[in-house]
Amino acid sequence: MAAKQPLIISDKNQMRKWSSTMKSQGKTIGLVPTMGFLHEGHISLVREVHRHADVVAVSIYVNPGQFSPSEDLSTYPSDFDGDVRKLMAVPGGVDVVFHPHNLYNYGGTDTNKKSASVINNVAVLSCIEQKGIGHETWVRVENLEKGLCGKSRPIFFRGVATVVTKLFNIVEPDVAVFGKKDYQQWRIIQRMVRDLDFSIEVIGSAIIRDSDGLAMSSRNVRLSPEEREKALSINKSLLGAKSAAANGQMDCNKLRNLVIQAITEAGGRIDYAEIVDQQSLEAVESIEAPVVFCVAAWFGKVRLIDNMEIDL
With H, G, I as helix, E, B as strand and everything else as coil, classify residue 98: strand
Query: Which letter does DSSP use for residue 180 in this model?
Result: G
In angstroms, the CA 20 to CA 36 distance is: 25
Q: Does 132 have pLDDT greater than 80?
A: no
What is the rounded average pLDDT of the residues 201-221? 97
Residue of 42, 52, 99, 135 marked catalytic = 42
pLDDT band at 131 (very low <50, low <70, confident <90, very high): low
Q: What angle do CA 121, 124, 130 make, to 5 degrees?
A: 130
Verify whether residue 42 is a known catalytic residue: yes
Distance CA 147, CA 284 (A): 13
CATH 3.30.1300.10-classified regions of the chain = 218-310
Angle at 183 between CA 146 and CA 35, to 5 degrees: 100
> Looking at domain 7-106+140-205, which CATH architecture does it have?
3-Layer(aba) Sandwich (3.40)
| pLDDT at res. 41 | 97
State how far the Cα of 30 lies from the Cα of 65, in Å rounded to an integer: 24
Task: Average the pLDDT over 283-302 and give the result.
Answer: 97
- Whether the per-residue pLDDT at 273 is higher than 50: the answer is yes
Superfamily of domain 218-310 in CATH is: Pantoate-beta-alanine ligase, C-terminal domain (3.30.1300.10)
pLDDT > 70 fraction of the chain, expressed in percent and rounded: 90
Residue 80, pLDDT > 80, answer: yes
| pLDDT on residue 116 | 39
Q: Tell me, what's the pLDDT at 134?
A: 83
Q: Report which of 103, 126, 104, 105 is spatially closest to residue 114, judged by C-alpha positions.
A: 126
Task: Tell me the pTM.
Answer: 0.90
Could you tell me where in the chain the CATH 3.40.50.620 domains are found?
A: 7-106+140-205
Confidence class for position 114, pLDDT limits 50, 70, 90: very low
